[in-house]
Structure 1
Amino acid sequence: MKKLDDIDRRLIALLQDNARLSTVQLAKAVGLSRSAVQERIARLEQSGVIAQYTVRLGSGGDPLRAWLLLRYADGFSCDDVMPQLEALPQVQSCHSVAGETDMLVLVQAETPSMLSDLREAVAGFKGIDDVTTLPVLRTLLER
């Protein structure tokens, strides 16, 4: 695959902000022709850089979001914990990380009480030794 250049990165950022932008709008924003932008987007899709287009919900009810910082119990790993997390619809994303924390889990709940219940459920999973909860106060940038 061809290395990403500045225009590729700008197209990706624009699409992350609004995946419904037309090819003409994208072309104007990056200073290329419509056909050149179409070719670049097709290449980014075919190479797997762009995996999918999705919908990000707006603030119509702003659910409470929080990061759960998980630490595995001795002898357990991501493979042991992931099936339990995947079964929860409130789990938005999971990231395996290095350091004192083993996994970052972004969750969503309607109320603080529901977040507390979710946190307790995750803390009770087999293979989880510790959970730290970091509620999201405000999202400043999300792509």
Structure 2
Amino acid sequence: MYELDDLDRRLIAALREDARMPITRLAAVLKVSRTTAQARLDRLLDSGAVLGFTIRARHDRNSIRAIMMIEIEGRSTSQIIRRLRGFPELIALHTTNGGWDMVAEIEAAGIGDFDRILREVRQIEGVLNSETSLLLSSL
């Protein structure tokens, strides 16, 4: 496994801010040569330390965002994950420990969609219990 050093961590942090940053700009931000920046990025990709690049979309200010904790019955986790991935309103799924088995991040266009998604998730066979908290402010 490739061990990250300070330059690797700074490179990853810069890409988290702007995954589309050109390599010349990335090199300038890191205060290294273009060749060094490219070599480090290639090594991070080849080692699997960086799996890919993505975007962060601005959340619609009128959308309803929430976290839903989900308790799952027995060994039905794989089936439930497949079902949950079919809901576009669930923007991320996480397994967790403690009293809940999963956490889902929800973003719904309005209260009607929010109510519908809560109801549909709770109706999935194998979902025993859930608790949802609205996200009021992002800090």
- Residue 116 of structure 1 corresponds to 115
The answer as to 2:10 corresponding to 1:10 is yes
Secondary structure in 1 aligned to 2:104?
Answer: strand
User: Compared with structure 1, are the counterparts of its residues 62 and 51 closer, same or farther at alpha carbon in structure 2 (3 Å cutoff)?
Assistant: farther
Secondary structure in 1 aligned to 2:48?
Answer: coil
- Residue 46 of structure 2 corresponds to 46
* TM-superposed deviation, 1:86: 1.4
Number of corresponding residues: 139
TM-score normalised by length of structure 1: 0.87
* TM-superposed deviation, 1:2: 2.4
Alignment of 1:1-143 (within 5 A): 1-59=1-59, 61=61, 63-73=63-73, 75-140=74-139
* Greater CA drift, 3-12 or 57-66: 57-66
User: Compared with structure 1, are the counterparts of its residues 60 and 107 closer, same or farther at alpha carbon in structure 2 (3 Å cutoff)?
Assistant: closer
- Paired AA for residue 90 in structure 1: E
* TM-superposed deviation, 1:99: 0.4
TM-score normalised by length of structure 2: 0.89
Q: Gaps (5+ residues) in structure 2? A: none
What is the CA RMSD across the aligned residues, in angstroms?
A: 1.7
Q: CA separation in 2, counterparts of 1:59 and 1:106?
A: 13
Render the CA deviation track for 1:60-108: whole Å, top value 9, x for unaligned. 55532211100113x2442131111011122211111110011011121
Secondary structure in 1 aligned to 2:69?
Answer: strand
Identity over aligned residues, as a percent? 29
Large movers: runs of 4+ above 4 Å: 59-62
User: Compared with structure 1, are the counterparts of its residues 97 and 116 closer, same or farther at alpha carbon in structure 2 (3 Å cutoff)?
Assistant: same
* Greater CA drift, 25-34 or 37-46: 25-34
Secondary structure in 2 aligned to 1:54?
Answer: coil
Q: CA separation in 1, counterparts of 2:75 and 2:62?
A: 34
